[in-house]
Amino acid sequence: MEKIKAPSLYRTKGFIHTLIKECEFALIYEKSDKNEVSQYKCYEVFKRKIKIECRINGKLIPAHLKLPGNEVFGQWAWSYYTLDKAIAKFSRI
């Protein structure tokens, strides 16, 4: 099976997620708002999960990386305020 490439950057709800590190089992993204006033930044670590290819209403949806939603944090995704703590979790996955 072909390896599904993680996006180097993606956006959700006003945040920018930039890929920091990845391996076969996990990923680390830096999450920031790029707002000059608050300058919010944290690191999200999550297990690599793949959504398989499927067909919806006749349209073929290719296999792709499953990104974590709010409801999975603490299960297969975690958020840290320091890169050191994120890397420590990444190493344990």
In a domain, 3, yes or no: no
Mean pLDDT of the chain: 92
Exposed / middle / buried, residue 90 (Cβ in 10 Å: 0-12, 13-18, 19+) = buried
Q: Of 82, 81, 64, 89, which Cα lies nearest the Cα of 7?
A: 64
In a domain, 4, yes or no: no
Number of domains the chain contains: 1
Residue ranges in the chain assigned as alpha helix (H): 83-92
In a domain, 50, yes or no: yes
Supply the range of the domain harboring residue 37: 9-92
Tens of pLDDT, residues 44-75: 999 999 999 999 999 999 999 999 999 999 99
pLDDT of residue 1: 52
**pLDDT tier, 34 (very low <50, low <70, confident <90, very high otherwise):** confident
List the beta bridge partners of residue 77: 46, 73
In a domain, 22, yes or no: yes
Residue 76 structure tokens = 């297969």
In angstroms, the CA 58 to CA 81 distance is 43
In a domain, 13, yes or no: yes
In angstroms, the CA 68 to CA 26 distance is 12
Does residue 37 register a pLDDT over 70? no
pLDDT of residue 39: 80
First to last CA, the chain: 22
